[in-house]
Amino acid sequence: MGSKLKPKLIRYLKGTIPEPLLGFLPRGYAKIGHVMIVNIPEILKNYEVEIAEILLKMGAFSGIKTVAKKAGRTKGIYRMPQIKVLAGEKQTETLHRENDTMFKLDPARITFSPGNHNERKRMIDIANNYETIVDLFACVGNLSLPIAVHKNVIIYAIEKNPEAYKYLLENIKINKLENRVIPLFGDNRDVTPKNVADRVIMGYLYPTIDQLEIGIKALKNIKGGWIHFHIAKPLNKLKEPETLVKKVSNKLEYDVCYIKKLRVKHYAPSIEHLVLDVNLKPRTTI
């Protein structure tokens, strides 16, 4: 349905929706398991159910049973989405398959951003066998479970939201990763292990400086390793992220050997989701 969605919708809805509004029909959608999520602009509010019913018919062949719209900004520390079901099954808990990994989750209550798809794939590609990885913001295992499916790694997956943690536990089982993924429930400020990791994933757009310190302290203190530090720019209140990472690393006596900023996705008007790949080595004093 992808890029051809809008012309198809226009064809189906001509005559139902006034001509001047047809240009506002959605161009794309996200599919998480059986749930399709679309952005329907306010100007089409009176026609949203008709639009959703057509989308349901169009999506039936690819397993779509529910059509929902984004009903507001993702909220709070748990990053709870705002979604309204418009057509089809009301049940939004689903099984989503991506990169050979099964994710059970409820996209009406848990963030699983389709825009992070390439980042989830990138993490699989750059992680090495036999690494220990700490995922400081694991959610249902979004960024770290696919790595464990593809590579022989040990993962500490930390999550504070009880609902996301429940799905994380289920997803570890569904993907048969009980021997290699260690779930830790709680605030990463309290439960993150120290001196264990070759790689630390910080997949939360509003990290604090103390969390960056915790991420660095999770690295093996003889060898160092990699940090993948996500931020929303310029929304994030932290200073220039590279400067900040260098400053905090320096304070903890690590040298930054490599630092590169990548764009993950467009996040909101004038706001980008970025990730910094940082390689850190403990400072040697002779």
Ligand X SMILES: C[S@@+](CC[C@H](N)C(=O)[O-])C[C@H]1O[C@@H](n2cnc3c(N)ncnc32)[C@H](O)[C@@H]1O
Binding interface with ligand X (CB under 6 A): 77-79, 111, 113, 116, 137, 139, 142-143, 158-161, 164, 187-189, 203-204
Nearer to ligand X, 178 or 187 (CB): 187
What is the closest distance, in whole angstroms, from the C-beta atom of residue 214 to ligand X in the complex?
A: 9
What is the closest distance, in whole angstroms, from the C-beta atom of residue 13 to ligand X in the complex?
A: 33
What is the closest distance, in whole angstroms, from the C-beta atom of residue 153 to ligand X in the complex?
A: 16
Question: Which residue is nearest to ligand X, using beta carbons?
Answer: 203
Nearer to ligand X, 136 or 244 (CB): 136
Residue 160 tokens, joined: 């504070």
What is the closest distance, in whole angstroms, from the C-beta atom of residue 143 to ligand X in the complex?
A: 5
Nearer to ligand X, 27 or 122 (CB): 122
* Secondary structure of the chain in HEC code, one letter for each residue: CCCCHHHHHHHHHECCECHHHHHHCCCCCEEECCEEEECCCHHHHHHHHHHHHHHHHHHHHHCCCEEEEEEEEEECCCCEEEEEEEEECCCCCEEEEECCEEEEECCCCCCCCHHHHHHHHHHHHHCCCCCEEEECCCCCCCCCHHHHHHCCCEEEEEECCHHHHHHHHHHHHHCCCCCCEEEEECCHHHHCCCCCECEEEECCCCCCHHHHHHHHHHECCCCCEEEEEEEEECCCCCCCHHHHHHHHHHHCCEEEEEEEEEEEEEEECCEEEEEEEEEEEECCCC
Nearer to ligand X, 69 or 160 (CB): 160
Instruction: Let me know: does 141 contact 103? Beta carbons within 8 Å.
Output: yes
What is the closest distance, in whole angstroms, from the C-beta atom of residue 255 to ligand X in the complex?
A: 27
Nearer to ligand X, 17 or 218 (CB): 218
Radius of gyration of the chain (CA): 21
What is the closest distance, in whole angstroms, from the C-beta atom of residue 161 to ligand X in the complex?
A: 4
- Find all residues with CB under 8 Å of 51, minimum gap 6, and list them: 9, 13, 17, 25, 26, 38, 40, 44, 86
Nearer to ligand X, 204 or 267 (CB): 204
Nearer to ligand X, 90 or 97 (CB): 97
What is the closest distance, in whole angstroms, from the C-beta atom of residue 219 to ligand X in the complex?
A: 18
